[in-house]
Structure 1
Amino acid sequence: MTDRITRRKRVAVALAAVAVVLVALAGGAAALSTGKVLVVEDVDTGERYVTEPVDDGSTVQLQYMHSVEKTPVNDVYRVDGDALVNTRMEFESYGWGLPSRVNVTNVNGTFVYDPPEPIITLDSLSVSPGRIADHTLVVDDRRIDLVAKTNASDVRIHVERRTITDVLL
């Protein structure tokens, strides 16, 4: 009888140990990164409007109509870790907020600022999508109408790592 009780205690202890190991493994797996996403969220509320998968080297473009000059602008960024690195700017006329003291190349009537080394690295990018400016976000080849998605609300664009828990929730 005591052998049976001892055996049951051993089995119970072994099962409890296995359960502890499984919980620890599940917790560790939940914290593992499953990749990165580009997040567009409301500046005031944190509401997420867009979550797009990205990798190191992914291209993120912010395309819009310059509010004063009424000409197209295309800001190009590259995902580098958790940062956005400004790698290129294309615009058709000089205006407020556009680079005026840098070397540009004229390509078919478009000024192209293509620095030899990226000079601006951002943890996040703040944008006020406007109906007149018609802000569009292009993530690799996926086009997103920022004005329609955000109802023209101020947003913060940033890269973050996703865990298995994030994916499941």
Structure 2
Amino acid sequence: MISRSRGRLVRGGILVAAALAILVPIAFAVGAADAVASEPTLVVTGSDGTELVAVPLDDDTEVVIEYTHSVEKTLVRDVYVAGDETLVMTRMEFSSFGAGLPSQAEVTERDGRYVYEPPPEEYATLHLKTGAVADHDLIVGDERYDVAALSGYGAVELTVERRISTPL
């Protein structure tokens, strides 16, 4: 009876050792993946799922959607910053009041333009329908992207993903 218990213990010990031999490298691999630096990346995807733009973001990088208001024919800028895998709208800048612009909201005037600072709202996915009249541009830091042309004047989605940074 004692040998039988010992046999179970040994076999149980072997099973535990075998399980650890499998699980420990997996745990280290997962830990190593977490240790690799990842950075927020703005990703613009076309309606067919094609990735059109992928730009790494710093904590304070502004993401600006700039377009011409379809009725007023004036410049509008929607300004966002990256949250935790989200976009957070910080302000809207415009030159005249028109359809879809915050005419009843409290605005300030800066450099001849109206600035609306809405309560913070996070967007996991920002849906944007571009067009030839509005001619939407995306400005990230010092880079400008003609997302209207890149998407064939179609719909795009903007998301923030954590991507592994690649050294230069």
Give 1:80's match in structure 2, choosing from 74, 83, 89: 83
Q: Does the 8 Å contact 2:68/2:135 carry over to 1?
A: yes
Match in the other structure for 2:6: none
Give 2:73's match in structure 1, choosing from 59, 64, 70: 70
Unaligned runs of 5+ in 2: 1-20
Distance 1:28 1:153, change over 3 A: farther
Match in the other structure for 1:54: 57
CA–CA separation in structure 2 for the residues paired with 1:78 and 1:140? 11
Match in the other structure for 1:151: 152
Aligned-pair identity (%): 44
Is 1:40 the counterpart of 2:44? The answer is yes
Unaligned runs of 5+ in 1: 1-16
Distance 1:29 1:149, change over 3 A: farther
Secondary structure, in 3 states, of the residue corresponding to 2:32? helix
Secondary structure, in 3 states, of the residue corresponding to 2:40? strand
Task: Kindly state the Cα deviation for residue 57 of structure 1 after the two structures are TM-superposed.
Answer: 2.7
Secondary structure, in 3 states, of the residue corresponding to 2:88? strand
Runs of 4+ residues deviating >3 angstroms: 23-33
CA–CA separation in structure 2 for the residues paired with 1:96 and 1:71? 12
Match in the other structure for 1:96: 99
CA–CA separation in structure 2 for the residues paired with 1:50 and 1:75? 18
Secondary structure, in 3 states, of the residue corresponding to 1:57? coil
Please give the per-residue CA displacement for 1:6-30, whole angstroms capped at 9, x wherever unaligned. xxxxxxxxxxx6xx84x76456534
Task: Kindly state the Cα deviation for residue 132 of structure 1 after the two structures are TM-superposed.
Answer: 1.5
Q: Does the 8 Å contact 1:57/1:80 carry over to 2?
A: no
CA–CA separation in structure 2 for the residues paired with 1:110 and 1:82? 30
- TM-score after normalising by structure 1: 0.74
